[in-house]
Amino acid sequence: MEKMQIKIRELENLSMLSRVLAHEIRNPLGSIKGFVQYLIKKISEPSLKHHLEIILKESLRLERLTNDLMHYGNPQSIKIERINLKELIYDIALPFIMEHEEISFDIDLDEIHIDTDKDKIAQILNNILDNAISAVSETEPKKIIIKAKRVNDKIKIEISDTGTGMDEETLKKAVEPFFTTKPKGTGLGLAIVTRLCEILKIDFEITSKKGQGTKVCLTMPKSL
């Protein structure tokens, strides 16, 4: 564990600390998960199996947290490439659409090409959509609208949902690292979005009304 010897005070900020911690947790967690999966296959005694499945479920939760922490703490270098925004948005939305037949998706995308970091923009859209999905899971109607258009010399992406919405206090805290109202949330989704938007020079805005829904607007330059 030589990495753990790095002194805390030498870590410049929370992001570095997150990365080191996530890294240190991942390997032992990987073994725990692997051995538990192996034991679940080998053991037939039901109550024992049940307990092992709880260990597996909690390991998967920790794995999600470490993945989020890695992203939060890892600014990486920017890799700029030309991307077809319409294709990218469809690629990201498709698994959500297939998994949630109960949600109606309204997608209206202009033919847009931008020069930006594909992985980072994908992560941003993924985290926002993930929240929209959980927000509509508890409400009726279940609708998510995704739009992308040119506005003057900028590109604007809007993701709105008819979900639970947020009161003012929740909205203020929503982007804080580790703030979550979900039993299984990590509270890192929007903190990562905020960070990646800074890196990609994207203006990120959320408006929300409790009981009505939420709209996220991303306004970005055509090239970085």
Of 36, 98, 107, 30, whose CA–CA distance to 62 is shortest?
A: 30
Spell out, one character per residue from 37 to 76, where the chain touches ligand ADP: x when CB under 6 A holds, - when not.
----------------------------------------
b (16+ CB within 10 A) / e for 116-137: bbeebbbbbbbbbbebbbbbbe
Amino acid code (one letter) for 211: G
28, with CB counted inside 10 A (0-12, 13-18, 19+), is: exposed
Closest to ligand ADP by CB, 128 vs 220, is 128
Q: Does 170 bind ligand ADP (CB under 6 A)?
A: yes
Confirm if 169 and 177 have CB atoms less than 8 A apart.
no
Closest to ligand ADP by CB, 66 vs 186, is 186
- CB under 6 A: which stretch of 1-9, 75-83, 88-96, 182-190 binds ligand ADP? 182-190
Residue 4 DSSP one-character state = G
Spell out, one character per residue from 106 to 135, where the chain touches Mg ion: x when CB under 5 A holds, - when not.
-------------------------x----
Q: Does 166 bind ligand ADP (CB under 6 A)?
A: yes
State in angstroms the smallest separation of the CB of 91 from ligand ADP: 20
Q: Does 162 bind ligand ADP (CB under 6 A)?
A: no
Partner interacting with residue 218 (select from Mg ion, ligand ADP, none; CB below 5-8 Å by kind)? none
Phi, psi of 143 (to 5 degrees): -135, 135
In which element (H, E) is residue 82 found? strand 80-84
Residue 223 DSSP one-character state = B
Of 149, 167, 141, whose CA–CA distance to 217 is shortest?
A: 149
State in angstroms the smallest separation of the CB of 108 from Mg ion: 24
Q: Does 196 bind ligand ADP (CB under 6 A)?
A: no
Residue 74 CA to residue 59 CA, distance in Å, equals 22
State in angstroms the smallest separation of the CB of 54 from ligand ADP: 21
Closest to ligand ADP by CB, 112 vs 131, is 131
Spell out, one character per residue from 121 to 160, where the chain touches ligand ADP: x when CB under 6 A holds, - when not.
------x---xx--x-------------------------
3-state secondary structure 122-181: HHHHHHHHHHHHHHHHCCCCCEEEEEEEEECCEEEEEEEECCCCCCHHHHHHCCCCCCCC
Q: Which residues make up the interface to Mg ion (CB under 5 A)?
A: 131, 189
Contact footprint for ligand ADP (CB under 6 A): 127, 131-132, 135, 161, 163-166, 170, 174, 179-182, 185-191, 214
